Amino acid sequence: MDVENQKTSYRRAGVKDVETLVECRVRFLNELCDHPDDENAESLKKTLREYFSKAIPSGEFIAWLAEYEGKVVGTGGMVVWELPARYGGLESGKAGYVLNMYTVPEARRKGVCTRLLNELLEEARSMGLKYLHLHASEDGKSIYKKAGFVEPEQTELKLNM
């Protein structure tokens, strides 16, 4: 698959792309977590359809797709939300979380993820976002660092409830 050539197109996803985004998100999660595509995946797909159908029109979720010969070969997304303002790049209160960076195995290491990330970064700049964060897989770390992402200064804790 020669996705580096001119046949690869990139576009912002819309509501008509919800099913594609759902399938790519599930494939990403299944690969990341070594999870089988089982009955839990069907429940997850339903919830994702509802989320994307609501969050894309509201601007809370922005996604880009890479297509090669009519087939989606990559996707990248960004959740946008507003927090109370603070120093250090969040004076506007708006922030973004980059996720769903997924490229099909046969199109990896051909610049697809880098281009999708650049499209999302441009979207973030145009929206005035000054702060983005993400969770990086080992495979993706170098791409994000090359784009300017750095290790966090403060440890983030989480609580599963």
> pTM score, two decimals?
0.88
pLDDT of residue 31: 86
pLDDT of residue 152: 82
Per-residue pLDDT of 30-62, as tens digits, reads: 888 877 777 788 889 999 999 999 999 999 999
E strands, 57-156, where? Answer: 61-68, 71-82, 94-103, 132-134
Per-residue pLDDT of 72-110, as tens digits, reads: 999 999 999 888 877 766 666 788 999 989 999 999 999
Model confidence at 113, pLDDT cuts 50, 70, 90, reads very high
Alpha carbon distance 98, 132 (integer Å): 7
Structural domains in the chain? 9-146 (3.40.630.30)
What single DSSP character describes residue 86? B
Alpha carbon distance 12, 130 (integer Å): 21
